[in-house]
Structure 1
Amino acid sequence: MRRAGWYALYAAVIGALAWGIHAAGQRVDYSWHWERVPQYVVSFDGEEIKAPFDGFVALENDGRTIRLNALRTAESASLTDFDRLIVGDGDLVFEGDVLAIRNGIAPGPLAWGLWLTLKLSALALLFALAIGLVAGLGRVATNPAARALAATYVELIRGTPLLVQIFIFYFFVGTVLDLSAFTAGVAALAVFTGAYVAEIVRAGIEAVPRGQMEAARSLGLSYPQAMRHVILPQALKKSLPPLAGQFINLIKDSSLVSVMALTDLTKAGREVVSSTFSPFEVWFTVAAMYLVLTGALSLWVRRLERKFAHD
């Protein structure tokens, strides 16, 4: 079969899947309302200006200035850059209440959720790399204590569900160390992913022929120098595909932090569903936004693979 025939087969399979989704919607007598979704991604209703603390609203004579006087302290704040007023003179407002609207284009709830997911995943990825590298080196160390500690960490983390670890970090570790929900979420994801990265690093190091280490030591390099300059660069090339898969899993696993009162993309999706009563449209949109993140990461890793292949 020629290449055009294979592309035609691909298009036919995709078309069949699209028809299947449409037929499923018809079978449950579902009414599609895609027009409700875009405003929750990008809002043209303007940006909400929210109260920074609890207090009473005082409008200046010009009607273009809001003064918010704190409820229990002498603190006050003035707001002038707005286009539409929501509150009235003398109103009691609480932190987070909307005071006014500034016209323009603003991110919707799903966009904010996507940004939190991206920030959470990026920070967790960086810490997971550091944790996994240390634990992976511990797994191949000659020191029995380092090897035992690394093995205990890997088996303990990989042997318990991520959701349970999130609860432990949020309710126990976070309470003891006074961590915010965001910090606890990053820590839980980093520790969990770090255990899998450690095994990937260990496998990558063991895939490098032993003669490489012996040759490096014979040239006068110390063990740390040989590991840094000879072994780890080769192990990284071999480890890129599984690392990419693990980082993609990290982005998807970040959806579990919605149980920690963090409005990530998944929780934002639930809130939008409750507002629009359009679950299929919203969850398809959320899935597409996750796909954008994971697809961008996959593309970046493939470029790294090509770069290392030519080095």
Structure 2
Amino acid sequence: MGPSRKTSTSDFPWWLVVLALAAAYAFGQTLTSEVHAQVLAVLSQGIGITLLVTVSAFAGASLLGLLLALGGLSRFLVIRQAAKLYIEIIRGVPIIVLLLYVAFAGVPLVVEGWNMLTGALGLDPIRTRDISLLWRAVIALILAYSAFLAEVFRAGIVAVDPGQIEAAKALGLGGWLRFRLIVAPQAFRTILPPYGNDFIAMVKDSSLVSVLGVTDVTQLGKVTAVGNFRYFETYNLVALIYLTLTVTLSLALTRLERHLNRRNQG
């Protein structure tokens, strides 16, 4: 009885209590301080952009990453090597460099090539300015995270017992059915922790879009701090907003993992 009580106490999330107290203090300051209230009102306008960038980029990166993972496991040498080349190049470039490259070099180059193609077909050209900086940032994050997610997906697929796949083949299941019914469910349980961690990392890395002037939480924080010279209060609230998002997602991920483990044990 004694050891279990000790283990329970040691496992108590005291860090969460400390964070909750800090959040409560910041919330109290917002209610009682006009400066905090004004700053939070401005920053809250960027939360929607932050979530839009995060969800859009992660969804696109997941799809591209899955295709890269399947390409890396292809029986064709050219496809395997092409996928590996892409992954190694993208993983070797800092995200902020990739962001700037896509926004100011990659997109104009693609637009120029597209206009050459459509011009030959007699279609109207498009302008680089027609593609907003917001979506250029999303494209860059998709490219960046797809390389990391490809390795996550590949590891999950490889971890599936080959004997089960062979058994599915013996039962006459085609490639798509084998993937949907055998590989995907088991791979999902394996990749869930790193996959969820990458999503949380995406929330934080979405702040990089502020270098392009996209009005997310970070950009609005910079503009607000420059305008009111209240750097301490402003960046405290910026950090608190990101902490709230990431800790909430982390707790939700932990709860989902425990739920899936209970189902598997049951």
TM over 0.5: yes
1:263 pairs with 2:196: no
Partner residue in 1 for 2:195: 243
Shift in Å, 1:34: 5.4
Residue deviations 1:122-178 (CA, integer Å, cap 9, x gap): 100110110111111111221212211111111010011111110111101232432
Q: Which amino acid aligns with 1:206?
A: V
Instruction: For residues 191-246 of structure 1, give each alpha carbon's deviation from its aligned partner in whole angstroms, at most 9, with x where no partner exists.
Output: 11111110000011111111121111111112232122201110011100001111
What letter is aligned with 1:290?
A: Y
Q: Does 1:160 align with 2:112?
A: no
Match of 1:37 in 2: 36
Quick one: distance in 1 between partners of 2:218 and 2:36? 15
Distance 2:254 2:73 in 1: 28
Is 1:145 matched with 2:51? no
State the Cα RMSD in Å: 2.6
Counterpart of 2:53?
120
Q: 1:220 corresponds to which residue?
A: 172
Deviation larger for 301-310 or 158-167: 301-310
Output aligned runs, 1:1-311, within 5 Å.
3=6, 6=10, 10=14, 14=18, 35-41=34-40, 108-176=41-109, 177=111, 178=128, 179-309=131-261, 310=263
What TM-score do the two structures reach when normalised by structure 1? 0.67
Counterpart CA distance in 2 for 1:133 and 1:9 is: 35
Any runs of at least 4 consecutive aligned residues in structure 1 with deviations exceeding 6 A, and if so which? none
Say if 1:128 and 1:193, in contact at 8 Å, map to a contact too: yes
Q: Which amino acid letter does the alignment assign opposite residue 74 of structure 2?
A: A
Alignment TM-score, normalising by the size of structure 2: 0.78
Distance 2:104 2:66 in 1: 28
Superposition deviation, residue 297 in structure 1? 2.3
Q: Secondary structure at the match of 2:75?
A: coil
Matched residue pairs, number?
A: 229
Seen in structure 2, the aligned counterparts of structure 1 residues 196 and 9 have a Cα distance that, compared at 3 Å, is closer
Tell me, yes or no, if the aligned pair for 1:34 and 1:281 is still in contact at 8 Å.
no
Query: SS at 1:37's partner residue?
Result: helix
Task: Tell me if the contact between 1:174 and 1:180 (Cα under 8 Å) persists in the aligned partners.
Answer: no
Task: Write 1 or 2 for the structure with the bigger share of strand.
Answer: 1
The answer to whether the 8 A contact 2:68-2:83 is kept is yes
Asked if 1 retains the 8 angstrom alpha-carbon contact of 2:46 and 2:216, the reply is yes
Partner residue in 1 for 2:118: none
Letter in 2 for 1:150: A
> What secondary structure is seen at the aligned counterpart in 1 of 2:215?
coil
Q: Which entry has the higher C-alpha Rg, 1 or 2?
A: 1
Q: Which runs of 5 or more residues in structure 1 are unaligned?
A: 19-32, 42-107
The percentage of counterpart residues that share the same residue type is: 36
Query: How far has the Cα of 1:288 moved from its partner?
Result: 1.0
- Which AA in structure 2 matches 1:122? V
- Confirm or deny: 8 A CA contact 1:110 1:269 kept in the other structure: yes
- Per the alignment, do residues 212 and 289 of structure 1 end up closer, same or farther by CA in structure 2, a change over 3 Å counting? same
TM-aligned CA deviation for residue 7 of structure 1: 8.2
In the alignment, structure 2 segments of 5+ residues that lack a partner are 23-31, 112-127
Deviations 1:30-79 (A, max 9, x none): xxx954121222xxxxxxxxxxxxxxxxxxxxxxxxxxxxxxxxxxxxxx
CA distance in 2, matches of 1:8, 1:220: 50
Could you tell me whether the CA contact under 8 Å between 2:72 and 2:79 is conserved in 1? Answer: yes
2:103/2:136 contact within 8 Å kept:
yes
For the 8 Å contact 1:109–1:268, the answer to whether it is kept is yes
